[in-house]
Amino acid sequence: MKKKISTLLLLILICGSFSIYAQQIIPASKFEIQGRLFENTPKFHRVDTLKYRELPAAVKKLYTHATGMFVTFKSNTSKLSLRWKTVDAELGNNSTPIMSRGFDVYVREATGWCFAGVARPDLKNAESKAILVEDMATTEKEFLLYFPLYKELADFDVIIDEKASFVATRQYFNKTVVVYGSSIVHGASASRPGLAYTAQLGRRLNANVINMGVSGNARMESEVADMLSDIGSIDLIIMDCVPNSSPEEVKERTFNFVARLRKSHPKVPILLIESITRQISNYNLKWKARLIEQNKNFRLQYEKLLQAGYKDLYYLPTDHLIGDDSEGTVDGTHPTDVGFERMLKIIGAKVEAIL
């Protein structure tokens, strides 16, 4: 009998705080999903892939990721927990589990959004439970919850104190910026979702920065340009897609991509950003030659667009984007948090000047 009681107590302890405090479960349906281009997009996808069926297959799959999306709400809860499910539990070899499959949360202060905690995913199972932050004062706070960057999110529940208040909120931004790009835009390799440079840029500018990164597949296809052309009112388009495009694709597709965007957005500024200087090219001569050719062709196409009479085009070279000490990436290509901070200083200043 004593052994059975001991076993029961052990199970209770293993279950943790999810089973020993009174809870109020707020399902995903109670929130307004923010941070994506189009209303009425199914599930937690960035794009309705059935509507845009002509997109390349890899691009469609990546646009099912919840990258860049978030919810905001107000509550006086003392503890904030999360229960969620992604389509699988696989992890990339150059990313943290929190960035790929987890969440992070911020609290609004007078000076802006302040980081409060993370939800660490289960490393083996697609379903996870985690406490983001606990032992808070029971004053009302507004929370900002960023979604996982590298997974399709199936569902989530926010868990708060049983008698805590809850009000879903929506953010109203000064500007809307759309960023189309590679895995670097997608978020690799930030340590958590809120540190992707698009998320940081949004908080810095109080702007609705839409992350349209497609890891390894930002190749300026006409179908992608046509999809982006369906966007409503926006204030800036950023093209940070050179890293994924071969030198030949940069030469052949840049002009057409911008021209297609211009048909529906004739006066919206477009910022073209060169590929970051990949640090793997320090000694790899093949990568070095590729990088030089990519960026050279991109600049030539930018100049060709200007000569053709296209207005409101801006250009940002690779210079100093991730610093000059070769310490800004996790693998020679994808920025660490340090690399993203350096990028943000340069890109943020440029975007502020344009807007």
Smallest CA-to-CA distance from 193 within 273, 86, 109, 269 is with 86
> Could you state, in order of their start, the residue ranges of all structural domains in the chain?
20-169, 175-354
Q: What CATH class does 175-354 carry?
A: alpha beta
- Check whether 55 has a pLDDT greater than 80: yes
Rg (CA), the chain: 22
Predicted pLDDT at 14: 42
pLDDT at position 13: 44
Residue 21 tokens read as 């405090």
20-169 CATH pick, 3.40.1370.10, 3.40.50.300, 3.40.50.1970, 2.60.120.260:
2.60.120.260
Q: Are 198 and 348 a contacting pair, CB within 8 Å?
A: no
Torsion region of 220: left, alpha or beta (phi above 0 gives left; psi -120 to 50 gives alpha) = left
Global pTM value: 0.93
Fold match flag (20-169 vs 175-354): no
Distance CA 145, CA 168 (A): 12
- Which range (37-41, 68-72, 252-256, 306-310) has the least confidence? 37-41
Confidence of residue 205 (pLDDT cuts 50, 70, 90): very high
Given this model, what pLDDT does residue 39 score? 86
State percent of the chain over pLDDT 70.
Answer: 94
CB 242 within 8 A of CB 295: yes
**pLDDT band for position 21 (cuts 50, 70, 90):** low
Greater confidence, 243 or 13?
A: 243
